[in-house]
A and B are shown apart, each in its own frame.
Chain A
Amino acid sequence: MNAMTDRYETLLPLKAEARNLSFYYGNFQALKNINMPIYEKKVTSLIGPSGCGKSTYLRCFNRMHDLYPGNRYEGAIDFHPDHTDLLSKKVDPIEVRMRISMVFQKPNPFPKSIYENVAYGLRVRGENARSVIDDKVEAALRGAALWGEVKDRLKELGANLSGGQQQRLCIARALATDPELMLFDEPTSALDPIATASIEELITELKERVTILIVTHNMQQAARISDYTAYMYIGEMVEFGVTDQIFIKPKRKETEDYITGRFG
């Protein structure tokens, strides 16, 4: 156990914990020995310059890398409360993705109706009862602050919505199956400032119900919405801590340089 682990073990309940996590694209090592806690029902943000591995790290949590050949994980992500190792070869990536949902950088609604977009996760789980799906779709759309705007047009194509609405639709899709952890991969980078503000507000509300891990290249966003922040650089976790501490009094010189804009 290193010093960092000792410190956070005593704090809040954990949802997940990366232990000595390394990741390889073929021979290229993209993540180097990452140790980091994810606290339950908190927003944790990952910041760092482009190519630092923050998206790669995020995509380890739902085993997205399994979709492509030549990728390899080392170490573990211990998922609480059942202590399942998300990266274990014995754990089916589909099981992992059923528990951990994801919202992507660019809104990616399916070319289906708004209703079917939100219902998809339920359908994948074999849910066929119309009444159950109706209820969960409505709850998810309400949770994503979209219900009022779309309740009269559930049969319309998801792609007919504006960019910000599409992203909230994708959040509803990710929310509909009651995930334990939600991953956000730069969810506002394709959106205008007003849509960005609404997504940020939504994320702050969602943490009442679900643990959130978010990648952002916008430091102000990390400061606004997250409880904990991790600064990554070239595949390494440079510093992890309470967001206020990271932004006001970073322990490491590298973090300070990045935060203050002297670098990156």
Chain B
Amino acid sequence: MNQQELQALRAMIVAHKRWDTLFGVIGILALMLGLMTFAALFADMAINGLGRISVDFLTSFPSRRAANAGILSAWVGSVLVMLVTAFAAVPLGVAAGVYLEEYAPKNWITDIIEINVSNLAGVPSIIYGLLALGLFVYTFGLGQSILTAGLTLALLILPVVIVATREAIRSIPQIIREGAYACGATTWQVVSDHIVPYSSAGILTGVIIGMARAIGETAPIITVGALTFIAFLPTMPFTGELPAGPFDWLFAPFTVMPIQMFNWTSRPEAAFLSNAAAAGFILVLMTLAMNGLAIWLRYRLRKNIKW
């Protein structure tokens, strides 16, 4: 290669590399756009609400006077509803995912189920609310209760849990399954000794991401009849008298964080807007904490999984 050709080659490489730089810049801008928007919203909420956040705010019931109002009934309601959601969605979703991956024959029926599970994840949440109103509130007579709300949100996140379970199971190499079967294991032994333990990190991540979505849901909860003003707490779980006492809380009326926020933002007084911002700030923290937990659990559980 002579000097002239070499220079032409170098010039060409420099020209090509410009596209690398250009795309890098575009990528950073796109990323920043998303992150900055969220950061600005979060900062705005923090500025408006931070002044209101105190122990009193967390331990007071809502009130007509903005300065006395708190989110006690809202966050307790959210936590209890999430508890029901988790207890309903995890066993159902994991069982469905395991069945589809390890037991179901691969034919057109399972294909249809598969497509529909994915589609369910895209159904607007208000539809789940209407379904739950008809099914849980009227047909099953569960009332406008924590149980109804928890089950509704469980339905909402069920597709997320199923899809996460299936993806986690699919990432287990086939050779591990064959190794277990070759030892003489039944399908159930393979599932309980290998498939579920090895996919638990992925399943948990899916569950928590689903829960983080569910905790912010408003529409389906309003539809099933959450109250906007609650100045009492349900009986704490498992403290009531037997026989039905321990589960009284399931049938208690309730409110949740996003509904409390929605209620406050619709008030004319500016002071309530600060309350809404403060509640929103705490809700975002709860969501971030759940996602943080998901990341930590995934890291912990995956440490012991090597193929």
B-side residues, CB < 8 A to A, are 105-106, 173, 175-186, 189, 193-194, 198, 304-307
Instruction: Chain B residues near A160: list those with CB within 8 A.
Output: 306
- A69–B107 Cα gap in the complex (Å)? 10
- A-B contacts, 30 of them at CB < 8 A, read A64-B178, A64-B182, A67-B178, A67-B181, A69-B105, A94-B184, A94-B185, A94-B186, A97-B182, A97-B183, A97-B184, A101-B183, A102-B182, A104-B178, A104-B179, A104-B182, A106-B175, A108-B173, A108-B176, A108-B307, A109-B179, A110-B176, A111-B198, A120-B180, A120-B185, A123-B193, A124-B185, A157-B306, A170-B179, A174-B182
A125 to B178, CA, bound (A): 17
Known contacts A102-B182, A157-B306, then 19 further A-B pairs from the complex at CB < 8 Å, ordered by chain A residue: A62-B182, A67-B181, A69-B105, A95-B184, A104-B178, A108-B178, A110-B179, A111-B307, A120-B180, A120-B183, A120-B185, A121-B183, A124-B185, A125-B184, A159-B306, A159-B307, A170-B179, A173-B183, A177-B183
Residues from chain B with Cβ under 8 Å of A124 in the complex: 183-185, 189
Q: Does A98 contact B (CB under 8 A)?
A: yes
Q: Which of B106, B183, B189, B305 contacts A111 (CB 8 A)?
A: B305
Contact partner, B304, options A67, A101, A111, A121, Cβ 8 Å: A111
Contacts of A62 in B (CB 8 A): 182
Number of interface residues, chain A, beta carbon within 8 A: 28
Q: Which residue of B lies closest to A120 (CB)?
A: B183
B120 to chain A, nearest CB (A): 27
8 Å CB contact of A108 from B179, B185, B198 = B179
- Chain B residue numbers with a CB within 8 Å of A94 are 184-186
Known contacts A108-B175, A157-B304, A159-B306; is A120 also within 8 Å of B181 by CB?
A: no
Closest Cβ neighbor of B176 among chain A residues: A108
Contact with B along A98-140 (1 / 0, CB 8 A): 1001101010111100000000110111000000000000000
Which residue of B106, B173, B186 is within 8 Å of A69 (Cβ)? Answer: B106
State A174–B180 Cα separation when bound (angstroms): 10
Q: In chain A between 156 and 187, which residues have their CB closer than 8 angstroms to a CB of chain B?
A: 157, 159-160, 170, 173-174, 177
Q: Which residue of A lies closest to B183 (CB)?
A: A121
Q: Are B194 and A98 in contact (CB under 8 A)?
A: no
Name A99's closest neighbour in chain B (CB-CB): B184
Contacts of B177 in A (CB 8 A): 67
Least CB distance, A141 to chain B, in whole angstroms = 16
**Min CB distance, A66 to chain B, in Å?**
9
Closest Cβ–Cβ distance, residue A88 to chain B (whole Å) = 17
- Interchain nearest-CB distance for A171 vs B (Å): 12
Q: A101 contacts B185, CB within 8 Å?
A: no
Given A111-B198, A124-B189, decide whether A97 and B307 contact each other with a Cβ distance below 8 A. no
User: Would you call A110 and B106 a contact (CB within 8 A)?
Assistant: no
Q: A167-210 toward B: CB 8 Å interface, digit per residue (1/0)?
A: 00010011001000000000000000000000000000000000
User: In the assembled complex, which residues on chain B have CB atoms less than 8 Å from the CB atom of A157?
Assistant: 304, 306
Q: Do B178 and A98 have beta carbons less than 8 Å apart?
A: no
Cα separation A177 to B185 with both chains bound (whole Å): 13
Q: For residue B194, which residue of chain A has the nearest CB?
A: A110
**Which residues of chain A are within 8 angstroms of B189 by Cβ–Cβ distance?**
124
Q: What residues of chain B lie closer than 8 Å to A120, measured between beta carbons?
A: 180, 183, 185, 193
A173: chain B residues at CB < 8 Å are 179, 183
CA gap between A33 and B296 in the complex, in Å = 56
Decide: A101 near B182, CB < 8 A? Known: A110-B194, A124-B189.
yes
Contact A110 B180 (CB under 8 A): yes
B interface footprint on A3-17 (CB within 8 Å = 1, 0 otherwise): 000000000000000
Give A102 to B175 CA distance when docked, in angstroms: 12
Chain B residues within an 8 Å CB radius of A64? 178, 181-182
Chain A to chain B: the 7 pairs with minimum beta-carbon distance, closest first: A159-B306, A98-B184, A102-B182, A97-B184, A108-B179, A121-B183, A108-B175
Looking at A95, A108, A157, A170, the one whose CB has the most chain B CB atoms below 10 A away is: A108
Complex Cα spacing A94 to B306, Å: 27
Residues of A within 8 A of B307 (CB): 108, 111, 159
User: What separation, in Å, do the CA atoms of A3 and B295 have in the docked complex?
Assistant: 66
Contact B106 A121 (CB under 8 A): no
**Distance A69 CA – B182 CA, assembled complex (angstroms):** 17
Task: Determine how close the nearest CB of chain A comes to the CB of B200; give it in whole angstroms.
Answer: 11
Across the interface, name the chain A residue whose C-beta is closest to B198: A111
CA A23 to CA B207, docked complex, whole Å: 43
